[in-house]
Amino acid sequence: MTDRAPLPCPEMADVRETIDALDRQLVELLTQRQKMIEAAGKVKPARDTVRDEARIEEVISLVLKEAAKTGLAAEIAEPVWRQLIESSIEHEYRVFDKR
């Protein structure tokens, strides 16, 4: 493992430890999501069905509703999910093309 970034104050050790634990959980959840993207890429009937604009906007809407309920700022949620969706679509194309 590489050297850790310096701490600006002693309290940051606990904050960073919690962030690192949350990041591990996020990686596990993203792995599960990726597996579902791969399943979609294997069952979609045609390559032009991989990108679905209506579904993209539906997902963003659902995420923003959930974010509002939980207190996640829309300014964080929306761009993160849009990037996640775009990366997922590119991955799904690769899965589809390998069939």
What pLDDT is stored for residue 1 in this prediction?
59
Q: How far is CA 75 from the centre of its chain?
A: 15
What pLDDT is stored for residue 11 in this prediction?
87
**pLDDT by position in tens, the chain (length 99):** 568 899 899 889 999 999 999 999 999 999 999 999 999 999 999 999 999 999 999 999 999 999 999 999 999 999 999 999 999 999 999 999 999
Question: How far, in Å, are 38, 44, 83 from residue 47 at the CA level?
Answer: 13, 7, 20
Domains and CATH numbers, the chain: 12-97 (1.20.59.10)
DSSP type of residue 3: P
For the whole prediction, is pTM greater than 0.85? yes
> Apex CA 10: angle with CA 4 and CA 11, to 5°?
105
